[in-house]
Amino acid sequence: MTNEGSTGSPQGWQEVVAAVRSEVPLVHCVTAAVSMGLVADGLLAAGARPMMTETRAEAPTVSAAADALLVNLGTLSTDAMDGIPATVEAVQRRSIPWVLDPTAIGLAPVRTPLARELAKLGPAVIRGNASEVLVLAESGEGGRGADSTASSDAAAGPARELARRTGAVVAVSGEVDVITDGMTAVTLAGGTPLLTRVTGTGCLLGALTAACAAVTDPLPAAVAASTWLKSAGEQAARRAAGPGTFRIQLLDALDEVGR
């Protein structure tokens, strides 16, 4: 992994990872049904604690007790559409950091305008692939499903503009991750193509970012989460024979790397 540009971070990624493991933050996740299991198991493997409910009746109340919130728009259910705005308001009022993951926006008619509204509500970090960030920056039309059709490079400029406009750190994930607070930008290479062969690794990155944002500032949090997942992915790839064994080794590796 290479860091290019100034990191803007007071802490190395291993310190952030150690802080997650010692503070065991409770991360409330409103996230895609398809990747809920990986997100929860990944948070537990990372040393954090997941909590999951998305209804308007319960999500705002329980999120107020969390250390961080992830809002991921994948497979957006009616319950989630209804519960997300009040849940974001609840964490905002308590200054609990939250991460916006605008999964698969572009074509989708509800989540695209919803993501635009949510981006105005003070997320600590906006995390997406290049296509998603381009849509949110109003510079692109979106990818196909959860996959990006643009490169992180192409999203670097729009990501910086989006960060300036929203006050959020914007983290663009791909072969190379680009993370920016609008002024400094950090570029992270490394990882493995196997991360694209397992459902929900992007959602998991959003959840790890939320766990890190519970223990440090948004920029070092986003950098640490990306580095953590890339390092774990590299270790898992060395032990895996295919996408099934990779998914399992990834969870073991999240628990191991950076110690």
Residues that bind a second copy (CB under 8 A): 26, 28, 32-38, 40-41, 44-45, 49-55, 57-58, 61-62, 65-66, 74-79, 81, 104, 107-111, 144-147, 196-200, 241-245, 247-253, 255-256
User: Is 185 in contact with 88 (CB distance < 8 Å)?
Assistant: no
In the complex, least distance from residue 213 CB atom to a second copy, rounded to whole angstroms: 17
In the complex, least distance from residue 252 CB atom to a second copy, rounded to whole angstroms: 3
Residue 38 or residue 221: which is nearer to a second copy going by CB?
38
Closest CA to 166 of 142, 130, 138: 138
Strand ordering across the sheet containing 98-101: 3-4, 185-188, 177-180, 169-173, 125-129, 98-101, 68-72, 26-30, 49-52
Residue 50 or residue 206: which is nearer to a second copy going by CB?
50
How far is CA 13 from each of CA 10, 39, 105, 194, 227, rounded to the nearest angstrom?
A: 10, 20, 29, 22, 7
Alpha helices in 56-172 (DSSP H): 59-63, 78-93, 111-119, 130-136, 152-166
In the complex, least distance from residue 59 CB atom to a second copy, rounded to whole angstroms: 9
In the complex, least distance from residue 130 CB atom to a second copy, rounded to whole angstroms: 16
User: Is 207 in contact with 39 (CB distance < 8 Å)?
Assistant: yes
Residue 75 or residue 92: which is nearer to a second copy going by CB?
75
> What type of residue is 186?
V
Cα–Cα–Cα angle for 63, 69, 74, rounded to 5 degrees = 110
Residue 6 or residue 238: which is nearer to a second copy going by CB?
238
In the complex, least distance from residue 38 CB atom to a second copy, rounded to whole angstroms: 7
Taken as a whole, the chain contains a residue count of 259
C-alpha 91/C-alpha 97 separation (Å) is 7
Q: What is the largest CA-CA distance in the chain?
A: 47
In the complex, least distance from residue 115 CB atom to a second copy, rounded to whole angstroms: 13
Residue 10 or residue 145: which is nearer to a second copy going by CB?
145
Residue 161 or residue 252: which is nearer to a second copy going by CB?
252
Residue 2 or residue 109: which is nearer to a second copy going by CB?
109
In the complex, least distance from residue 104 CB atom to a second copy, rounded to whole angstroms: 7
What secondary structure letter does DSSP report for 68? Answer: E
Radius of gyration for the alpha carbons in the chain, expressed in angstroms and rounded: 16
